Structure 1
Amino acid sequence: MTATANAQTIERFYSAFARLDAAAMEACYAPDAVFDDEVFSLRGRREVAGMWRMLATATQAKGADVWRLTWRDVKADEATGSAHWDAHYRFSTTGRIVDNSVDARFTFTPEGLIATHRDSFSFPAWARQALGMPGLLLGWTPMLRNKIRATAGANLDKFLAANQP
C-alpha cells in the first residue's frame, strides 16, 4: 500500500475511536494483529478488537458524557506509521477523570491493515489520575503495574467469553 493509504488507515482508526465505533476500529486490523501498551499485550484481531469493544462499551455506559479523543501528527510510509492521541475519559472502575497522552506506532500489511500497534504513555501519570492516592504512591512500582495488567487481562477474558462476535 502507499504511504497515503496507510495514513488513511490511521485516520480511519482514530475517527472510529473518537465515535467509540469498535466495529470500524476492528476493520482496520489484520487478522493476526499484535497490540501492546502499558496495560495490554494482545495477539490476534479477536483479542485486540475485543479490548476496544470492552473499552468502548464501558465508556458508552459510564462516561459518554465526558468522552473526548483528539489525534494529530499522523505519519505513514509504505510499511510503518505513527500518531499522537489524547483521550479525556472517565475510568469506569473508579469514576475518576483521566487525560491520557499517547504516542502510537504502527506497522501495516501489504493490504494497508494494521499489523502491529504499540501505544506508549506514562503509566505513573495514568495511575495517579485513574486511581487517585494509590496510583500516586504506587504508580511507579512493578507491583501496581502487574496488578493492573492482571485485572485488565481478566476483565478482557470475561468480556470475550460473554461477547463472542
Structure 2
Amino acid sequence: MIIHDFYTAFQRKDIAGMQACYAQGARFEDPVFPGLSYEETCQMWAMLVTAGKDLELTFSDVEAQGEHASAKWQATYTFSATGRKIVNPIGATFELRDGKIYRHRDHFNFYRWAQQAFGPTGYLIGWAPFFQKKVQASARRSLEKYMAR
C-alpha cells in the first residue's frame, strides 16, 4: 500500500522513494505549509529530510478504503531555527489516484507545536493567527530558497 511505502521511505530518509509515492499534480497542506503544489511538496520533503539530521518518525493506524486513506505518525526532531526538541503527533488524510497520493493533508495542533518550537514566545502567542501566518511565511521563504538552489 502506497501509504506504507511513503512512511517507510520517510523513515529511511529516502527522498526519491517518498517523491515517487505522489501522483503528478498532487497537493499537500499542513498548518505550516498550506497549499503546496506537486513540485513544492516534493521539494518540501527533500528540504525537511535533508535538514532533519536527528529526524525520527513512527507511523501507525494506516487505513484505506477506496480512494481515501489515513494514518497517524509522529515526528521527533530538533527545530533548526531555535534548537528546541519537537515531538509532534500528526494525523494524515489522503486522497489516492491510480494508486498514488493525490491529496495529502497533515493535521496537528499548531499551538502545541509552537510551544515546543519557540518556548515562552510560542506559549504566549503561538495560538494567535498572526503568529501562524508569520511561521507560514518564514517556512515559505525557506522552501523557496531551497528550491532556488
The interval holding the TM-score normalised by the smaller chain is over 0.9
Give the TM-score normalised by structure 1.
0.88
Q: Which residue of 1 aligns with 2:99?
A: 112
d(CA) in 2 for partners of 1:119 and 1:136? Answer: 22
Q: Which amino acid aligns with 1:144?
A: F
Q: Which residue of 2 aligns with 1:100?
A: 88
RMSD across aligned C-alpha pairs, in angstroms?
Answer: 0.9
Q: Which amino acid aligns with 2:65?
A: D
**Contact map agreement 1:84 1:101 (CA 8 A) in 2:** yes
- Which ranges of structure 2 fall in alignment gaps of 5 or more residues? none
Q: Which residue of 1 aligns with 2:44?
A: 51
Q: Which amino acid aligns with 1:74?
A: V
Q: Which residue of 2 aligns with 1:127?
A: 114
Per-residue CA shift, 1:74-108, capped at 9, x if unaligned? 00022000000011111111110000000000000
d(CA) in 1 for partners of 2:84 and 2:96? Answer: 35
**Contact map agreement 2:115 2:123 (CA 8 A) in 1:** yes
Measured after TM superposition, the shift of residue 19 of structure 1 is 1.6
The residue correspondences of 1:11-160 to structure 2 (distance < 5 A) are: 11-60=4-53, 64=54, 67-109=55-97, 111-160=98-147
Percent of aligned pairs with the same amino acid: 44
**Contact map agreement 2:22 2:101 (CA 8 A) in 1:** yes
**Contact map agreement 2:28 2:38 (CA 8 A) in 1:** no
d(CA) in 2 for partners of 1:78 and 1:18? Answer: 25
Equivalent residue pairs, number = 149
**Contact map agreement 1:32 1:43 (CA 8 A) in 2:** no
Measured after TM superposition, the shift of residue 42 of structure 1 is 3.5
d(CA) in 2 for partners of 1:104 and 1:29? Answer: 14
